[in-house]
Amino acid sequence: MQAIILVGGEGLRLRPLTCNIPKPMVPVVNKPFLEHMFDNLKKHNINEIILAICYLPDHIKRHFGDGGDFGITLTYAVEKSPLGTGGAVKNAEGLLDDTFVVFNGDIFTDLDLTSMIAYHKEKKAKATIALTPVEDPTAYGVVELNPQSKVKCFIEKPSWERVTTNLINAGTYVLEPEVLDLIPSDTYCMLERGLFPDMVEQGVPFYGYPSNAYWIDIGNPADYLKLHHDILMGKAMARFPGKSMADDIWTESGCNIHPAAKIIGPLVIGRDCTIEKGVRISGPCVIGDKCIVRHGATIDEAILWQNVKLGKDTTIRNSVIGNNSVIGDSTWITDSSIVSDDSRIGSGNKLEHGIRIWPGSIIEDNAISF
């Protein structure tokens, strides 16, 4: 079966992590997010994948090519300007030949696709949408079902007054090719505001498939951090690079970890990292390739991307540090703060309260200490 993954969004809510790379390439436990999606698709024998792409397409194409290195066949349906989730699916029409599956490209889930597809066939549906329960449905598409599980109502990002259920669109759809006739060509159109409400109105066989599978949209920094936490704590299942070197500690080759560093897992360390004497690491943490953590630094529930340098006695807690950033001595970065790529943060700074530092920023020594 063929799958389309929608990867054309700009990932604005995940900025500044998505300033230099598109959301699907953001690393999750040291590999691009999309690779985790491919893992779940392959588990269900879905190997033919179309990427509906728009923002920074070269970045994705360069990494994945024709998919051969990843055990899949990849093709690309590129939009010149964003066509919306519906327009993007329509844009891939020429590449489709039968029943197909569509995925939002920012959802991590272990949804049982095999059962969902069987359910779709059993119901003789034209469209089937996976549903998941959430606490705040107003940030998503709310889906109300009738007793036969047919979609009765689809409201995208409703106000609280219009919320009638906590079941929301989980961003996975099984579709028959006929539904493509309901989407206009070369026109901006969203499935959630166009096709889905139209199908309900026209009485098309459109079913919901509720599931309690693990599910998270990595669209904002808090959920990006939460996904790491859940993977490392074993709540979400994922494959990631590295070999187990001790209980709850995985490393890749070329690492130099001082025996007097105090490490409490879960921790994943990439290739060629140096962890000096007196460093304290308290998981869940992920450290990317070629990072250097100097003497006395503390890393606590944090994520370092690649080639990050942490100065002496610096503390990083519950925060993300982007590629090639250099953090000076005795600096604090805490409370879901984000320092994006290529930044230089001087010594003696205190970055707190979810502060977001844009790529290439330079902060002098002792400049921020509120």
| Interacting residues toward ligand GDD by CB under 6 A | 6-9, 52-54, 79, 82-85, 88, 104-107, 140-141, 156, 168-169, 171, 192, 217, 219
Sort 202 into a burial class: Cβ within 10 Å, 0-12 / 13-18 / 19+: exposed
Helix and strand numbers (H, E) in the chain are: 6, 34
- Which of the choices Mg ion, ligand GDD, none does residue 54 contact, using the CB cut-off of 5 to 8 A by kind? ligand GDD
Whether 290 and 274 have beta carbons less than 8 Å apart is answered as no
For Mg ion, the closer of residues 189 and 285 by Cβ is 189
For ligand GDD, the closer of residues 88 and 101 by Cβ is 88
CB of residue 300 to ligand GDD, shortest distance in Å: 29
For ligand GDD, the closer of residues 88 and 267 by Cβ is 88
Q: Which amino acid belongs to residue 261?
A: A
- Which of the choices Mg ion, ligand GDD, none does residue 82 contact, using the CB cut-off of 5 to 8 A by kind? ligand GDD
244 by DSSP, 3-state: which?
strand
For ligand GDD, the closer of residues 91 and 306 by Cβ is 91
CB of residue 36 to ligand GDD, shortest distance in Å: 13
CB of residue 139 to ligand GDD, shortest distance in Å: 7
Give the number of residues written for the chain: 370
95 by DSSP, 3-state: which?
helix
Q: How far is CA 304 from the centre of its chain?
A: 16
Whether 346 and 326 have beta carbons less than 8 Å apart is answered as no
Closest CA to 304 of 348, 262, 337, 259: 337
CB of residue 267 to ligand GDD, shortest distance in Å: 29
Handedness of CA 157, 163, 164, 170 (dihedral sign): positive
CB of residue 188 to Mg ion, shortest distance in Å: 18
For Mg ion, the closer of residues 105 and 348 by Cβ is 105
DSSP string, 256-273: EE-TT-EEESSEEE-TT-
For Mg ion, the closer of residues 190 and 245 by Cβ is 190
236 by DSSP, 3-state: which?
coil
Q: Which amino acid belongs to residue 295?
A: H
CB of residue 170 to Mg ion, shortest distance in Å: 11
Give the residue nearest to ligand GDD (CB).
8
- Which of the choices Mg ion, ligand GDD, none does residue 169 contact, using the CB cut-off of 5 to 8 A by kind? ligand GDD
For ligand GDD, the closer of residues 92 and 302 by Cβ is 92
DSSP strands (E only) in 288-359: 292-293, 298-300, 303-304, 309-310, 315-317, 320-321, 326-327, 332-333, 338-339, 344-345, 350-351, 356-357
For Mg ion, the closer of residues 219 and 283 by Cβ is 219
Sort 65 into a burial class: Cβ within 10 Å, 0-12 / 13-18 / 19+: exposed
d(CA 360, CA 234): 34
Pattern 196-225, binding to Mg ion, x per CB under 5 A? ---------------------x-x------
CB of residue 233 to Mg ion, shortest distance in Å: 23
CB of residue 216 to ligand GDD, shortest distance in Å: 9
For Mg ion, the closer of residues 13 and 120 by Cβ is 13
Whether 130 and 141 have beta carbons less than 8 Å apart is answered as no
- Which of the choices Mg ion, ligand GDD, none does residue 119 contact, using the CB cut-off of 5 to 8 A by kind? none
Pattern 87-116, binding to Mg ion, x per CB under 5 A? -------------------x----------
Handedness of CA 193, 197, 198, 204 (dihedral sign): positive
CB of residue 205 to ligand GDD, shortest distance in Å: 20
Encoded tokens for 315? 């503390």
**By the rule CB under 5 A, 276 interacts with Mg ion:** no
Binding stretches for Mg ion (CB under 5 A): 106, 217, 219
